[in-house]
Structure 1
Amino acid sequence: MVQLYLWFAGLFLLFMEARTARENTDPIMVMGILGESAILPAEIPPRKKLGSINWSSRTPVAVVQLDPGTSFKLIITHQNYVGRLNVTSLNYDLKISPLKMEDAGSYRADINLQTNTATAITITKNYSLHVYRRLAPPKITRNSIISKNNICNITLTCFVEEGGEAVKYQWTPLEEQAIESNGKSSLFISRISEDAHINFTCIVTNPVSNNSESILIHLCADCLSGTFDPSCCVLVSVLVKLVLFSLAGVGFYLWPKIKQGIKFNCYCNFPFASTEEARTARENTDPIMVMGILGESAILPAEIPPGKKLGNINWSSRTPVAVVQPDPGTSFKLIITHQNYVGRLNVTSLNYDLKISPLKMEDAGSYRADINLQTDTATAITITKNYSLHVYRRLAPPKITRNSIISTNNTCNITLICFVEEGGEGVKYQWTPLEEQAIESNGKSSLFIYRRPEDAHINYTCTVTNPVSNNSESILVHLCAETTSLSSLRWSIPVLSSIVLIVVGTCFYLQHKKKKDADSLPISQSKNLPEDNQVYDELSMPTLIVSNQKKEAPNTIYCTVQNPQKMENS
């Protein structure tokens, strides 16, 4: 008993370990600096044999496959990462260098391991990559307003150009009258003429760097560079407005000529069209509809542009699927990147279409092919194609049920219901013949008809179809009179039951009465009592006399009773 318990406990722990391994979706936080590098750790479990690793983000990234000759083979599956990826040979971590701001985001590693039982296990790890800039020294702007009571209200604003998010600000020194605002990037202080000079410092930080800048606050008595005069500030304000109006006038004058020059360049410089064409090629995201039958096959067409040299194709769905890479020796090399597709994929050698066989219902969904092409200029172009795969069952003959109700005017209301077991979605129904009085409902799976006793027999057929198959079944609807006789039979059953109960009850009553009358007949007589109070009786058994009359019912009994003779006491 103890051994059985330990066996179940070990099996449960192994199941939980495998489940945890497959569902390890907690993101690992990775930070990097713009222009430098970031490492995404693979963390291969110890004593496990690696099959391959499929790295992906918003687009495919790369596939790492073991190679006996070079320890591993790195296949880059999107042009955005060409020349910027590397893998450490010891632990298969992925290194991205130099980092770009657009590299930030979620990453996923599907790690395919081979077990001792020759089965594959896929471990999924998620990462969150944050890319930051090294902060430059911030800039500080000053805005001063003189109040009537000769108090100078100063606002210091600190900002970093291209600092990005996650920048934090700190001011020193922070006096009692100082007020921070706008996420501490602004500092509001009040000064009077007798206050001494103070040096305020703004410190900016982000998760990878920090920097600072200082500003010296003079006595508030000077407006620009001299003794304070209110008319001085008014004059400066007027001059600033004149400059702004002058610049606006020059802009209105030059804008028509600039616009003409832009039009000329647009008409003459045709490279804009080629850029748009390339953009359309890279963003071909209209899904291609593909249909397949459960247990059979479906083909996802790659549609490689003619005259283009294929680098590789990365197929993906809700999980990675496979990578196809041309190979001079075997025309292509197929690398399956998830255990769900092991033994079910193939590629045509002519056009690199992907074939899935046999199909499962869970194969239905969206698929994506990132096709990496090599151009004459040794640059890579990635074309993305999207697919929508629908998997249907071959329809079995449908079943038809009938429900009949007789109305008071002797009209038969009949409802025919047609259904398919395990039909799935996309099933359509059709009834023939469809008379004027017939009404279809529930997506045409139900048919409601009226029949009268004088109507003839009609054969109704239900035809079911889906995008890959069809089937049908028929039912013969008889005269409504037959339904009427069945209805009459249903009503007669309770009446007949009542009659039988009454007859049986009457028979029991008569039998009981006969028995009671028989018991009331005298079968003995009493003697005169002697003086000694003793009673002597003589009983003789009644003689059974069978009547010689005609044969009666088998349960009839005839009896005669004789009075016993009085005996003398000897």
Structure 2
Amino acid sequence: MAELKRYGCDWALEPFPDRWRKSQLQIFYPIFWIALLFLLMGLGASGKETSPRVLSGILGGSVTFLLNSSGDEDIEHVAWSFPPKSLALALSKGDILILDKEYNGRLKISNGSYSLCMTNLKKEDSGSYHALISKKNSVVSTVENFILHIYEQLKEPLVSVKSVTSSENDSCIVTLICMVNGTEDDVHYSWAQMDTHSNESHGSHILTVSLSACDPDLPYTCTARNPVSQSSSQPVRVWPFCTGAFRRKTVGETVVGILGEPVTLSLASLASQDTRNVVWLSNTLIISKEWKGAATADPRQTLKDPEEKRVRISEEDYSLKISQLKMEDAGPYHAYVCSKASRNPSVKHFTLLIYKRLKEPSVTQSPVHMKNDICSVTLTCSVEDGGNNVTYTWMSLQKKVDMSQRNSHLSIFWKSGERLPDFTCTAHNPVSNSSSQFSSGTICSGPKGHMKLWILRLLGISLLLLGMLGGCYILKQKKQCKCSRITLPTLRSLCVCKL
């Protein structure tokens, strides 16, 4: 097949002369039927026929069919056809007749060259075109053939992820798909990795990338091409899709941190002179550091101010240091130590747990219940904003009661009238403990307690009366008062002095 070409219309169709509009039927009537006869007889009536030339046009644009015989002064007329349709007839005098009204306003024929220009291209315009060229003083006609293909102007391709899997050697395998909205006619795809000069794939809209944690995250672009246009996608980085594959559910070493305080995830046992760089991953960060260098500007690094000051990699052994811990810092951490000798990194996994320092607990009591001279009460120990990993122990002078995890209640039973000891509640979590004392006082003192109270009261009254009797006796001896007797429930009579 001949080379595919595109030609636009760079000239305009001149208006028909008045002479043509007034007498076109009388002038062209015989010529019109002669041209139609040639077109209906087909190409067999021609003496010379050229190989078809392939042209391409853009949907909605224009295309020009250039004749090899253009400029030949011996041309008498040219009949253009799009079988089975007859399109136009052009005479040597510059007169033009559009034979199919469907093409009115879309066809132009150049004066002198007889080339045909078609505008406002449609999909259905694709196909074979013929130009029947008749010359003066010749019974042999020449036919030039064309094949026209119509294509859409390609839009920007869209790249999506088809799948993400992980391999046994800690590699991430990502499959990307490149698609163009609209037609897929004769569209070819290629992939390129930025900052390199190599194409990863030709002719396929699917690209599979295998990436290790130590590989740089160079972006990929997809380019779509058809015979009339090409368009490239926005750069796509693979690493963000791989972080889930690299973040395994391995527990590894457990490190306990305190909210608001610093913590270190140590890599002292893995880093060496052979280390090329270290990549740390967690649920909230991706950060890497070159050997004996500053933290890199790797696009994978997700830290932003002020996080860049709070999270850093140690200069000495590439341990991860986090200051002013937040609750969202808790979770799995993975350190990939990349060596110069191997593409496969050494991996160390951590699980960071974060707890708050406990405040002083508070102890409250339930209402006291008494049945059969037995008192019962429930004490509850609680810590404000203590979290879920708090255990409690209770201590008294007699014995220690150790409650199970997440249970802060202590139920106490004792006989009415007995003195209840004081209790101490201690709240524990993995980083701190705090205590609070509960004073029992005289809760549920019982009948015996009331009897002791009455005895004390009576004893006080008796002492008061004895004092009064003594004073009265002394006054009587001095004859300074008269004695009048009164009767009390506890004594037969009482002498009251009247001064």
In the superposition, the TM-score normalised over structure 1's length comes to 0.36
Higher normalized helix content (fraction of residues): 1
In the superposition, the TM-score normalised over structure 2's length comes to 0.41
